[in-house]
Structure 1
Amino acid sequence: MAQSLLLKAGGGLAGIDAGLAKNLPGVYDDLFSVYTPGTLLSFWVLVGFGTLGLPQTAVRAMGFKNTKSLHSAMWIGAITCSFIIVGMHMAGTWAGALVDTSNLPTSDYFIPYIVQKIMPVGLAGTFLAAPMAAVMSTADSLLILASAAIVKDLWRNYVVKDDPVKVASYNKNVGKLSTLVTFAFGVIVILLTINPPDIIFFLNLFALGGLECSFFWPLIGGLFWKKGTKQAAVSSSIGAAATYVFCYYNVHVAGINAVVWGLLAGAVLYFAVGKATCKNGLDPDIIKNCF
């Protein structure tokens, strides 16, 4: 639908071609003068297969009722996402022909502006509700994930442990604790958004890159490599995140995003530490349950 509306508003393919040449001459004449091959490769990693490491995606995958459902979701999701991503990129490219970005305060205004320009009022409201719903879905997933990590993973395993008294108290109050921790995280997020950056897009990409570097190899390695150990997961997560932050501010080579260096460092640490710490043979319970 967006593509057809853009074609109509832009005067067909010929009109869009002329609009792109006018509004985005640098990108139109020579894409690689604006985006280096390293930059394009980095974004393929950052918004492509690197998203397998996002914890909010992994948590949802854990909700499948059986293996058959998971396998079905893999090919259904791949086809659906391919269709959506191709359409989104095409619509985004064509939209550049209708908007002179120099007149916008920041690029964050681009989508609301173009939607209001090419769509009727009611349809525009519905269309703008979609990204808002996606934002809310991601935000609530991350809040629940953060709360569960504190209350159920760290507090339960390292504070409560197997003490019968503490376990009984924990089981009685786990709901209240989860609610309080989730509320606390929500308040912190609200406070941090009082003075947001000018371009939220880059903040979002920075956060995605950090999450991918921290969780990609522990998740993927844990699923497909039999010698993966907790030491490998922890070292990979910390090392990759530290490498990502350092390279983001200090390493600028051929336009390559820091997520590439973070994932490479995480891979080296995961497999090296995993091989070094798996000296007593493979855990038969893990092999039985996971492989």
Structure 2
Amino acid sequence: MNSYGLFIVLLAAYILILVSIGWYFNKRQKSVTDFWLAGRRINFVAIGCSAAASWMTAGGILAVIGLYMLLGMGSIWGFVAPNILALLLIALLVGKIKHLPAITQPELLEQRYSSSIRGPVALIIAVVMILFAVADIKGFAMVLEIFFGLPSVYAVAIVALAVSVYVTLGGLSAVIWTDVIQFIFLAGFAFAMVVAITGSATSVDTSSVMTVSELLSDVPEGWWNPFSIGILAVMIFIFAIIPGWVTEQDPWQRVWAAKDEKSARNGMILGSFFIFLVFGVACTIIAIGLNHVYPDISASFAEIGMGAMAQAEPALLVYIFEHFSPLLIGLSGIGLAAAAMSSTDTFATSGGSCLSRDIYQRYIKPDATMKEMLAVNRLSVLIIVAGATIGSFYIDGILAAIHIATFIASAAYFFPLMGGLYWKRATKEGALAGLIVGFVAQVALTIVDLANTPAFAPAYLDSIHPVLSNHGVIAGMALSGIAFFGVSLATKPSETVNLAPFFKEAAKDLEKKIFVDEADPQYKKMLKVMTEEITGDRAHLYLILEASATVNWNKFVKDITGKYHEWVTPTGVDSVYRLTKSDMLACITITRGQTEKEIWFESEPRVKDIDLHRKEMFVAFNEVSATLKEMGVLLTLS
């Protein structure tokens, strides 16, 4: 069997494993939270593997190796170092992020500001996720073209079909646990390449065999200097890239999915270490070895500059094709397929959540049942994959797609998001101004830069001033920050209901004492029908009840929020909170269930407070039951 035949057989087996994982988790989903946040049950090892695998794209690996070959360690600031630093910074922010009551960042921003910002942020994040996924598909297309002579449409079909099937089945649980498998494949592939290429590089000259240490030291002067590009360029890369990656939705979703704060923090730290091992160690050694096997590539850099990336980027693939047996070529293809899928599934899940929850459920059908939402969730994932598929035919460079997406994220929603979490004076008008100004400015600067830059020439904006490098993202962020802070200071402060979940001092007036007779037969009955699960430092309380008739959800929400001031809808009528404390995860939430008769009660208190929240669940049930009774509908604990 030739290499292509072996690859197809191995790929089919690999995809079958991934789909089986998706099917397994499909049977365990009880809610949209289970689909998008894996039920908040993930341990730190899985978080670490998934966080690392999400950035180890096939295209990213090839691009990093290519940059090392041409520029040495000075190139780490364009991709590798920001990856590592962003995850470490997120680890520092876990205490703030973990207990925020949201499934998506647009939902979070609506809670902090108002509904006016949720839609625009959701659309921007969806566009950013599509651009990230483009890089994965393009990298895998390069693999198939060099290994098997296949056109890029095959890469699109393989990644799109495989990812859309297992992600739409299992949601974030499937993404994370398939990421664990994909990381193992990818790390194994990377270090196998280290062994193979160092073996070839140290024996290129048969008259004088080198040792590995001699190979690593046989590089141009300054190759190992990470600051060879200059401190100014390093600072520009840091400020251009890291804000976008720190505020990117998909690592936040992994923090929310972790079973507790410790697991989230350790997972992010572990993920950064894994990225260092693959990008910082394995890819470095591979690049040095390839420079010895193909010395003409680095030599051509002096003549044609970054045009040499056209040879450096696929150098690893060319090496595999020229030196490996059909079986090893097939296995290498699987390793790189794992890299492509491990990132595409992340971006599809993250972007899809914005389309389904933040657009469809928030604005199109707020009273959608859970069954309907799971169907829309799956369709949204397909839309993101389809968008990336189309984009892959129009965007040429792998890192170009990643950087454009990152710069848009940095300029558009860094200040509205982080400012909203840490600055009480931030307002909805300021957030919307910062979002729109940053997005429009960054898109315009990117278009101007690309339109005026000839092929293989230095970027047009770079030639004007170094601060305008990276498509002028520093300028885009500056304009966004000016708009955000200026408009916030000029407008009315946010209401207490918007500040309470984010600032404890603003929630003091919300605290309520709960009085429940534990001998009440109805209370005892509720305890029997309520489901309780403990994961990490949180308890999960679920109460799923069916009313006597179809519930007019919109009227019910209007009535209960009018009758009881504790009940609020900070993110639309799909979720109604009994807002009695700053910890909104612990607040009782009611949503429509699988059918139009079902109502789901949910609360995620800290384990030490579980008894108090059992009683509050009973109070919430009585208030919901009384409201429905006035509508002619009965809700009982049966």
CA contact (8 A) 1:147 1:178 kept: yes
Q: 1:266 aligns to what?
A: 480
Query: Which of 161, 166, 174 pairs up with 2:373?
Result: 174
Q: 1:73 aligns to what?
A: 267
CA contact (8 A) 2:198 2:285 kept: no
CA contact (8 A) 2:427 2:494 kept: no
* Pair 1:60-2:223 in alignment: no
Q: 1:284 aligns to what?
A: 500
Which consecutive residues of structure 1, in runs of 5 or more, have no partner in the other structure? 162-166
CA contact (8 A) 1:209 1:259 kept: yes
Against the structure 1 CA distance between its residues 73 and 226, is the aligned structure 2 distance closer, same or farther, given a 3 Å change threshold? farther
Q: Quote the offset at 1:136 in angstroms.
A: 1.7
Q: Quote the offset at 1:196 in angstroms.
A: 4.7
Q: Quote the offset at 1:235 in angstroms.
A: 2.7
Against the structure 1 CA distance between its residues 13 and 190, is the aligned structure 2 distance closer, same or farther, given a 3 Å change threshold? same
Give distance in 1, aligned partners of 2:430 and 2:442: 18
Against the structure 1 CA distance between its residues 75 and 204, is the aligned structure 2 distance closer, same or farther, given a 3 Å change threshold? closer
CA contact (8 A) 1:213 1:259 kept: yes
SS of residue in 2 equivalent to 1:279:
coil
Query: Aligned AA for 1:245?
Result: V
Q: Quote the offset at 1:63 in angstroms.
A: 1.1
Q: Which has the higher helix share?
A: 1
CA contact (8 A) 1:10 1:97 kept: yes
Q: 1:158 aligns to what?
A: 363
Deviations 1:31-57 (A, max 9, x none): 999x46544433344554541122222
Deviations 1:224-266 (A, max 9, x none): 3333444343333332222222333343322732333333333
Deviations 1:249-288 (A, max 9, x none): 3433227323333333333333333444452565334423
Q: 1:238 aligns to what?
A: 436
CA contact (8 A) 1:104 1:110 kept: no
Give distance in 1, aligned partners of 2:386 and 2:278: 34
State the Cα RMSD in Å. 3.9
The alignment's TM-score, normalised by the length of structure 1, stands at 0.73
Q: 1:227 aligns to what?
A: 425
The alignment's TM-score, normalised by the length of structure 2, stands at 0.37
Give distance in 2, aligned partners of 1:136 and 1:182: 13
- The aligned runs of 1:48-127 (5 Å cut-off) are 48=242, 50-88=244-282, 90-91=284-285, 93-94=287-288, 95-99=290-294, 100-101=296-297, 105-115=310-320, 126=331
* Pair 1:254-2:466 in alignment: yes
Q: Which has the higher strand share?
A: 2
CA contact (8 A) 1:107 1:199 kept: no
Against the structure 1 CA distance between its residues 189 and 284, is the aligned structure 2 distance closer, same or farther, given a 3 Å change threshold? closer
Give distance in 1, aligned partners of 2:500 and 2:273: 37
CA contact (8 A) 1:214 1:236 kept: yes
CA contact (8 A) 1:112 1:128 kept: no
Give distance in 1, aligned partners of 2:321 and 2:217: 21
* Pair 1:137-2:342 in alignment: yes
Query: Aligned AA for 1:176?
Result: A
Query: Aligned AA for 1:149?
Result: C
Give distance in 1, aligned partners of 2:287 and 2:344: 28
Against the structure 1 CA distance between its residues 142 and 280, is the aligned structure 2 distance closer, same or farther, given a 3 Å change threshold? closer
Q: 1:10 aligns to what?
A: 201
* Pair 1:216-2:432 in alignment: no
Higher Cα radius of gyration: 2
Give distance in 1, aligned partners of 2:241 and 2:282: 13
CA contact (8 A) 2:416 2:434 kept: yes
Aligned residues: 278
Query: Aligned AA for 2:483?
Result: L
Deviations 1:118-157 (A, max 9, x none): 7777666555544432332322222233332222112322
Deviations 1:197-220 (A, max 9, x none): 443232232223223333333443
Q: Quote the offset at 1:81 in angstroms.
A: 3.7
Give distance in 1, aligned partners of 2:479 and 2:235: 17
CA contact (8 A) 1:55 1:215 kept: no
CA contact (8 A) 2:243 2:410 kept: no
Q: Quote the offset at 1:109 in angstroms.
A: 1.2
SS of residue in 1 equivalent to 2:314:
helix
Give distance in 2, aligned partners of 1:156 and 1:240: 27
Against the structure 1 CA distance between its residues 78 and 31, is the aligned structure 2 distance closer, same or farther, given a 3 Å change threshold? closer
CA contact (8 A) 2:241 2:410 kept: no
Against the structure 1 CA distance between its residues 144 and 220, is the aligned structure 2 distance closer, same or farther, given a 3 Å change threshold? same
CA contact (8 A) 2:197 2:286 kept: no
Against the structure 1 CA distance between its residues 119 and 45, is the aligned structure 2 distance closer, same or farther, given a 3 Å change threshold? farther
- More deviation in 257-266 or 50-59? 257-266
Give distance in 2, aligned partners of 1:68 and 1:109: 40
Give distance in 2, aligned partners of 1:81 and 1:224: 29
Q: 2:385 aligns to what?
A: 186
Q: Percent of counterpart pairs with the same letter?
A: 17
SS of residue in 1 equivalent to 2:257:
coil
